[in-house]
Amino acid sequence: MPNPSVAKQYVVRVYASADCYNDVVVTLLPNTNCTPVCTAPTFSASATPVSCVNGVLQVDGKICISNVSANATKAGYSEGTVYSGPSYAAANNLPTGGCLVTNLPNPSVAKQYVARIFASADCYTDVVVTLLPNTNCTPVCTAPTFSASATPVSCVNGVLQVDGKICISNVSANATKAGYSEGTVYSGSSYAATNNLPIGGCLVTNLPNPSVAKQYVARIFASADCYTDVVVTLLPNTNCTPVCTAPTFSASATTVSCVNGVLQVDGKICISNVSANATKAGYSEGTVYSGPSYAAANNLPTGGCLVTNLPNPSVAKQYVVRVFASADCYNDVVVTLLPNTNCNSTECNLNISEVTVLGGGSCDCPGTTGGSKAKVSATITWLGAPTGAKINVVLGSQTVVIDPATQVSPVTVDFTNVSVGTGKVTASYSTGTCSTDKSYTVPSSSGFDNLPPVFSGIPSDVTIACGSALPTPSECNGKR
């Protein structure tokens, strides 16, 4: 019969015959004291707080067991004081290293865990342990050591540079990174964002010149929370004046030249005997220099001349020549360019090669008023006329203009109604640089010298114009 959960009654009947029997009631009591023979395992349990690595709490809290009895087989753990972990079937075998768990986080307050060691499913021992929080996690810091200095900006020939420096030296071996900031309290980059130690030793090399002393903080890190600060003072440079050895030189102005009576555009300003410390040069009109700065000026000219194409001035003109040693170190010399006022042609390639006279004399035949009828022709030759110049050919009040730019030498010009007598044909450039002339004679009524021999016998007072017909006897009025 099975074990009843509570007392259970039964009736027992014994027969003598079908109708002859006796009943007895009996009670079957439950067996409530049937337990296995269990020898509970024994062990020690402990909880180890999380560790601290240079100020950082690790996730390595542990619950470990030791002194475990030989009948122990499996183990488990759970939070709290009443075990709620895995059953015997699901529990792990005893840990080889002795720890049930090795990655518990740091609790904010003390936290309890139950460790259970099984001998069998219903034979086990529970031990409650407490995991304490790690409240004293600060880095073990050996602060780095170093020296720091601030170097004022330099002065280059009177110009303050932007090269103030904050540098470090004698840096201890545990230093890893460095930063700086203005003021006496560090406000620069964090350990993560700051730079590695500078190779050249300087944290910054381009600080401007302060108007007054200015403080900076240099910070050297060993780690994020392990560092040393040093305050340095950057003093202003208040004594920046150029140390100038002014360059020496001679300067001269050369008047424009004259070529065949034509003024050239070749006035020069040249320098010589230039000292070795000279580097650049410039010039400007007037007596006060207004030319290019040192930065914009040209290097010293190879041929010695700063300019070679100055025009001829109408009056004496002054120029300032400046030779630089540096931006603020230079020497000025004033020179005077004189005008060329004596530019006359020494060789005139303008010529009147031939002058011819056609006609002459007078005719007082009836019906005529008489008068001059001569034509004078002049042949003009030239070579290398000045640019833009015209040739003015003049006879008395008559002028003929030749343009060498559009006409080719030689050119013959005619003058009509030229009076009897001797005169000159003059040819000159409009620039006034060259002039030439040639005489001519228009004959009077006496003689026949101006007529070809074939016309002998014609009275000398009869004028035969170029292209006219010979006079008739009636026109000569019986003159022979």
In the chain, what are the domains?
A: 1-26 (no CATH), 44-131 (2.60.40), 147-234 (2.60.40), 250-337 (2.60.40), 350-455 (2.60.40)
How many angstroms separate the Cα of 252 from the Cα of each of 98, 296, 301, 306, 321? 104, 23, 14, 10, 9
Residue for token digits 């031939």? 354
User: Distance (Å, rounded) from C-alpha 101 to C-alpha 79?
Assistant: 12
Q: What percent of the chain has pLDDT over 70?
A: 88
Residue 124: pLDDT over 60: yes
Please tell me the predicted confidence (pLDDT) of residue 169: 97
Which pLDDT does position 431 carry in this prediction? 84
pLDDT category, 104, cuts 50, 70, 90?
very high
Q: Report the predicted TM-score, pTM, of the whole model to 2 decimal places.
A: 0.34
What local confidence, expressed as pLDDT, does residue 383 receive?
86
More confident residue, 261 or 262: 262
What is the average per-residue pLDDT within 206-216?
A: 97
The pLDDT score that the predictor gives to residue 444 is 78
* Higher-pLDDT residue of 369, 96: 96
> Phi and psi of 476, rounded to 5°?
-85, -5
Confidence of residue 307 (pLDDT cuts 50, 70, 90): very high
Contact of 98 with 64, CB cutoff 8 Å: yes
Residue that is written with structure tokens 């049937």 in the block: 34
pLDDT more than 90, % of the chain: 68
Across 23-27, 93-97, 260-264, least confident range: 260-264
User: What pLDDT score does 369 carry?
Assistant: 39
How confident is residue 479, by pLDDT bands cut at 50, 70 and 90?
A: very low
Task: Tell whether the model's pLDDT for residue 206 goes beyond 90.
Answer: yes
Determine the residue type at 430.
S
DSSP 3-state of 142: coil
DSSP helix/strand/coil, 476: helix
